Amino acid sequence: MTRNYPSKVSIVEVGPRDGLQNEAQTIPLQAKTDFIHALARAGLNRIEAGSFVSPKWVPQMADSAQVFAAINRTPGVTFSALTPNDKGMQAAINAGVDEVAIFAAASEAFSQRNINCSIADSLKRFENVMQMANDQGLRVRGYLSCVMGCPYEGDIAPDKVADVCKTLLDMGCYEVSLGDTIGVGTPGHTHRLLDTLLRDVEATKLAAHFHDTYGQALANLVVALQYGISTIDSAAGGLGGCPYAAGASGNVATEDVVYMLNGMGIETGVNLNAVLAASNAMFGHLERKPTSRTYTAMLAKCNRSF
């Protein structure tokens, strides 16, 4: 049997952004900052803490500047934010973010619904955003949505994903995070996608950002690891969804990823119990249980809160 897994994985915790952007209720600033501090205490050293998008489009992220002003900047932890345009980039600079992310899609319809422009127009718009980031010495991550399917267009051709992915890297993104935005992909999709993508792109430049709508995310991650991808996006407790992808459920849960990687002997630097504690506090505010299977199993075992 071939075992070709990386020895270490870098986890990007997206719960405070991808997770909370989708919540119906307003989450108090203090609850957000407590959550972010708890995640940093758990050893998560890449935390997406907010987004500088239009508050009319995503009201839950409207307080991102306050979040960045309130969080303790733990040494060694990168606190990043999404920036869709110049206005968002300027706000991110003013807030003192450590890193930014631009976000494009492999589907025209999703691009229109999510950022109100075509893929080509978004890439053009990002040129100046990249320039502004470069002027500040900020690293830029790229997101690419709908890599395994779109809520409006259905199947997306791997070649289309490869085209936009290469453009984002050519523009200067240090990494592109592959979003299975609506969690429809299976290991079959993941193989097909990566067989195409890795013809021209190095695995070290890619991250896996899988939502778990159909319960396929961990299986897809194992495939991604076999192809040499060693950066995984996840959200504590399995928070998440996308406001412009109806039916999309949460990101793969950080607890489930850490439990799996621990069992595979792959280093993450993340303390599982401390992630459970972070989820416990946030889901206490949300007044519901995390979808994470590891959280549920470990809670039952301990018969208590974390």
289 phi, psi to nearest 5 deg: -90, 145
Q: Is residue 183 near ligand HMG by the rule CB under 6 A?
A: no
Q: Is residue 18 near ligand HMG by the rule CB under 6 A?
A: yes
Binding ligand HMG (rule: CB under 6 A), the pick from 33, 60, 181, 216 is 181
For residues 46 and 211, which CB has a smaller minimum distance to ligand HMG in the complex? 211
Task: Choose from ligand HMG, Mg ion, none: what does 203 bind? Cβ within 5-8 Å by kind.
Answer: none
For residues 125 and 166, which CB has a smaller minimum distance to ligand HMG in the complex? 125
Q: Is residue 64 near ligand HMG by the rule CB under 6 A?
A: no
Question: Which pair of structure tokens corresponds to residue 229?
Answer: 């991808």
Q: Which of helix, strand or coil describes residue 154?
A: strand
Task: Choose from Mg ion, ligand HMG, none: what does 57 bind? Cβ within 5-8 Å by kind.
Answer: ligand HMG
DSSP designation for 27:
P
Q: Is residue 42 near ligand HMG by the rule CB under 6 A?
A: no
Ramachandran sector of residue 184 (left: φ over 0; alpha: ψ -120 to 50; beta: rest)? alpha
For residues 239 and 272, which CB has a smaller minimum distance to ligand HMG in the complex? 239
The total number of residues shown for the chain amounts to 306
Q: Specify the stretch interacting with ligand HMG by CB under 6 A; choose among 114-122, 167-175, 262-270, 271-279.
A: 114-122
Q: Which residues are at the interface with Mg ion (CB under 5 A)?
A: 18
DSSP designation for 26:
P
Contact 242, 107 (CB under 8 A): no
For residues 215 and 284, which CB has a smaller minimum distance to ligand HMG in the complex? 215
Q: Is residue 209 near ligand HMG by the rule CB under 6 A?
A: yes
Q: Is residue 57 near ligand HMG by the rule CB under 6 A?
A: yes
Say how far apart CA 212 and CA 292 lie, in whole Å: 10
Q: Is residue 116 near ligand HMG by the rule CB under 6 A?
A: yes
Task: Choose from Mg ion, ligand HMG, none: what does 78 bind? Cβ within 5-8 Å by kind.
Answer: none
Q: Are strands 46-51 and 78-82 parallel, antiparallel or unpaired?
A: parallel
242 is catalytic: yes
Q: Where are the beta strands (DSSP E) in the chain?
A: 10-13, 46-51, 78-82, 99-105, 139-145, 175-180, 206-210, 231-234
Contact 99, 138 (CB under 8 A): yes
Say how far apart CA 251 and CA 238 lie, in whole Å: 5
Q: Which residues bind ligand HMG (CB under 6 A)?
A: 18, 21, 51-54, 56-58, 82, 84-85, 87-88, 91, 103, 114-116, 143, 145, 179, 181, 209, 211, 242-244
Known catalytic residues are 242
